[in-house]
Amino acid sequence: QLVESGGGLVQAGGSLRLSCVASGSIISVDIMGWYRQAPGKERELIADIATSGVTNYADSVKGRFTISRDNAHNTVYLQMNSLKPEDTAVYYCNAYMTTTDWGKPSYRNYWGQGTLVTVSS
């Protein structure tokens, strides 16, 4: 239902752009966000965005990362600039969506499969 792309290896100070597309029997998409999980650490929210465009960022990425979305295409993006080695993690897309299950609307939380971002020093 959620498919991420755009991860990879980048040097410190570089940039990457992650994309996540929601697909399936979608009626509506609510909040979309990006989480990350570094080795040995818990998964953490780094940014989310409402349908209205209102955004929320973790302090660790404020001023460096920008979340945006294309509501017409059920897509969320994460532009990551000034990357640091501590940004290395698996990045997961997350969305609250209303979908059709057996003909009935169902409001649930969905996760993507994750994309690895590695920042070398």
Please, what is the average pLDDT of the chain?
A: 96
Whether the pLDDT of residue 101 is over 90: the answer is no
pLDDT band at 114 (very low <50, low <70, confident <90, very high): very high
Task: Compute the average pLDDT of residues 49-60.
Answer: 97
Residue 102 binned pLDDT confidence (cut-offs 50, 70, 90): confident
Contact indicator for 48, 32 with CB cutoff of 8 Å? yes
